[in-house]
Protein backbone atom coordinates (compact mmCIF):
# COMPACT_ATOMS: atom_id res chain seq x y z
CA UNK A 1 0.00 0.00 0.00
CA UNK A 2 1.26 3.44 -0.91
CA UNK A 3 1.16 6.55 1.27
CA UNK A 4 1.87 10.24 0.97
CA UNK A 5 4.21 12.00 3.39
CA UNK A 6 4.07 15.79 3.66
CA UNK A 7 6.94 17.25 5.65
CA UNK A 8 8.26 20.69 6.58
CA UNK A 9 11.91 20.79 7.63
CA UNK A 10 13.11 23.56 9.96
CA UNK A 11 16.63 24.74 10.75
CA UNK A 12 19.52 25.73 8.51
CA UNK A 13 18.07 24.01 5.46
CA UNK A 14 18.31 26.63 2.71
CA UNK A 15 21.56 27.43 0.93
CA UNK A 16 23.02 24.01 1.86
CA UNK A 17 21.87 21.97 -1.18
CA UNK A 18 19.02 20.48 0.88
CA UNK A 19 16.64 20.31 -2.11
CA UNK A 20 19.19 18.55 -4.31
CA UNK A 21 20.10 15.97 -1.67
CA UNK A 22 16.42 15.43 -0.85
CA UNK A 23 15.65 14.79 -4.51
CA UNK A 24 18.53 12.32 -4.79
CA UNK A 25 17.51 10.51 -1.59
CA UNK A 26 13.88 10.25 -2.74
CA UNK A 27 14.85 9.00 -6.20
CA UNK A 28 17.21 6.41 -4.69
CA UNK A 29 14.28 5.14 -2.61
CA UNK A 30 11.95 5.06 -5.63
CA UNK A 31 9.67 7.78 -4.26
CA UNK A 32 7.72 10.32 -6.29
CA UNK A 33 6.82 13.91 -5.39
CA UNK A 34 8.66 17.20 -4.96
CA UNK A 35 10.71 19.45 -2.67
CA UNK A 36 10.92 23.27 -2.52
CA UNK A 37 12.18 26.15 -0.41
CA UNK A 38 9.55 28.16 1.44
CA UNK A 39 9.67 31.94 2.09
CA UNK A 40 9.94 31.36 5.86
CA UNK A 41 13.28 29.54 5.49
CA UNK A 42 11.90 26.02 5.73
CA UNK A 43 11.94 23.27 3.13
CA UNK A 44 8.66 21.56 2.23
CA UNK A 45 8.42 18.15 0.60
CA UNK A 46 5.65 15.85 -0.55
CA UNK A 47 6.64 12.25 -1.22
CA UNK A 48 4.68 9.14 -2.17
CA UNK A 49 5.62 5.50 -2.02
CA UNK A 50 5.76 2.41 0.17
CA UNK A 51 5.57 3.07 3.93
CA UNK A 52 8.97 1.56 4.75
CA UNK A 53 10.69 3.70 2.10
CA UNK A 54 8.87 6.82 3.32
CA UNK A 55 9.98 6.00 6.88
CA UNK A 56 13.59 5.82 5.66
CA UNK A 57 13.10 9.14 3.82
CA UNK A 58 11.63 10.77 6.94
CA UNK A 59 14.57 9.54 9.03
CA UNK A 60 16.91 11.12 6.49
CA UNK A 61 14.98 14.44 6.58
CA UNK A 62 15.76 14.69 10.30
CA UNK A 63 19.48 14.69 9.42
CA UNK A 64 19.72 16.18 5.92
CA UNK A 65 22.90 16.80 3.95
CA UNK A 66 26.25 17.48 5.69
CA UNK A 67 25.97 21.31 5.75
CA UNK A 68 22.39 21.34 7.07
CA UNK A 69 21.35 21.74 10.69
CA UNK A 70 17.85 20.32 11.05
CA UNK A 71 16.09 21.45 14.22
CA UNK A 72 12.61 20.03 13.63
CA UNK A 73 10.53 18.14 11.07
CA UNK A 74 6.73 18.39 10.91
CA UNK A 75 5.34 15.29 9.21
CA UNK A 76 1.81 14.39 8.17
CA UNK A 77 0.61 11.17 6.54
CA UNK A 78 -2.11 10.80 3.90
CA UNK A 79 -3.30 8.23 1.37
CA UNK A 80 -1.28 8.34 -1.86
CA UNK A 81 -2.80 10.27 -4.76
CA UNK A 82 -0.55 8.80 -7.49
CA UNK A 83 -0.37 12.26 -9.07
CA UNK A 84 3.44 12.32 -9.37
CA UNK A 85 5.57 10.63 -12.02
CA UNK A 86 9.06 11.44 -10.65
CA UNK A 87 10.61 13.35 -7.75
CA UNK A 88 11.65 16.88 -8.64
CA UNK A 89 12.77 20.20 -7.19
CA UNK A 90 10.08 22.87 -7.43
CA UNK A 91 10.84 26.56 -7.55
CA UNK A 92 8.60 29.40 -6.39
CA UNK A 93 5.80 29.04 -3.88
CA UNK A 94 2.26 27.68 -3.82
Catalytic residue chosen out of the listed positions 12, 19, 28, 90: 19
Catalytic residue chosen out of the listed positions 37, 44, 72, 90: 37
Distances (CA, A) of 89 to 1, 33, 52: 25, 9, 22
SS3 54: helix
First and final C-alpha spacing in the chain: 28
Residue 19 falls in the annotated catalytic set: yes
Residue 76 falls in the annotated catalytic set: no
Residues forming the active site:
19, 37
Amino acid sequence: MKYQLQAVVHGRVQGVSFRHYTMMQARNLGLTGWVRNEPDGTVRTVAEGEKDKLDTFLDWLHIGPPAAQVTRVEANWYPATDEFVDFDVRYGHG
